[in-house]
Every structure is written in C-alpha cells, then in structure tokens.
C-alpha cells in the first residue's frame, strides 16, 4: 500500500493558535471536546479531528475562522457547538461528519468504519 499526503492546494498560513497546557497541546480548531477539556484521549479524538479536515475539504473553508482560539475552546469544549455543514454537501458525507463529531467519543466510529463509509460514498457517487 502506498499512501500520499497532499494539501490539495488548500494550505494557508495561520496565525499562531497553538494552545498548550498540562493536559493538552494543539490547535483548538481541530481538537475534540474531550481533548480541549483535558480528558483522556484515544483514536476517537483523531476521528473527530479527521471530520474537521473532511469538513474543510467539502467546504473549502477554514474551521472557526471567525473565532479566536479561546472562543473555539468555549464553543466546542463547553457549549457543544459544531461547524455548520452547508446544505449542498452530499447527505452521506454530512451524516459521516456528524457521526464523527458525536459528543460521546464511544459513539464515534472507528477509522476502519470511516474508511468503509467513504468507499461506499465514493461508489455511490460513481454509480
């Protein structure tokens, strides 16, 4: 298997938004709520973050661009807010993103399930 990593020409310079504490470090726009809150993390945190990247790919927007890092922490970590998914996005993709953004990490899918769903979405789109 060969894996390629690419930014699809979407990468942009972002102001310094890196947060660090005794329990978590990273960029809050892509963090799962439990990471923001300093709770234990596992693969399900990465599933949440992957869904933010998937949201970026389907919207071509920067997540939470209208908020500063502290506001993102409050919105995602304490107010349980998620990014708005435009109505033009494929409903299957929307459902997958929302599933990956579940507040309860135990209800988020595994990456193997995410890949299965993405393959099915691609197959459906190709007829």
Fold of the CATH domain 28-125 = Transferase(Phosphotransferase); domain 1 (1.10.510)
State residue 20's pLDDT score: 46
Question: How confident is the chain (127 residues) per 10-residue block, as mean pLDDT?
Answer: 55 51 70 96 97 97 96 97 98 99 98 97 92
Q: Which long-range contacts (CB under 8 A, 24 or more apart) does 30-39 make?
A: 30/63, 31/76, 31/77, 32/105, 33/76, 33/77, 33/80, 33/103, 34/105, 36/73, 36/76, 36/77, 37/77, 37/78
Domain residue spans in the chain? 28-125
pLDDT of residue 24: 54
Confirm whether pTM is higher than 0.85. no
pLDDT of residue 29: 96
Quote the pLDDT of residue 127. Answer: 81
């Amino acid at each position: 298997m060969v894996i390629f990593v690419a930014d699809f020409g979407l990468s942009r310079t972002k102001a310094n938004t890196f947060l660090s504490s005794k329990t978590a470090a990273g960029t809050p726009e892509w963090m799962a709520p439990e990471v923001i809150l300093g709770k234990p993390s596992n693969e399900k945190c990465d599933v949440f973050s992957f869904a933010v990247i998937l949201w970026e790919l389907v919207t071509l927007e920067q997540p939470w661009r209208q908020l500063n890092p502290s506001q993102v922490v409050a919105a995602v970590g304490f107010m349980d807010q998620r990014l708005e998914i435009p109505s033009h996005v494929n409903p299957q993709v929307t459902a997958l993103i929302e599933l990956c953004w579940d507040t309860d990490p135990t209800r988020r899918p595994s990456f193997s399930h995410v890949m299965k769903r993405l393959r099915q979405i691609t197959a459906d789109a190709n007829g």
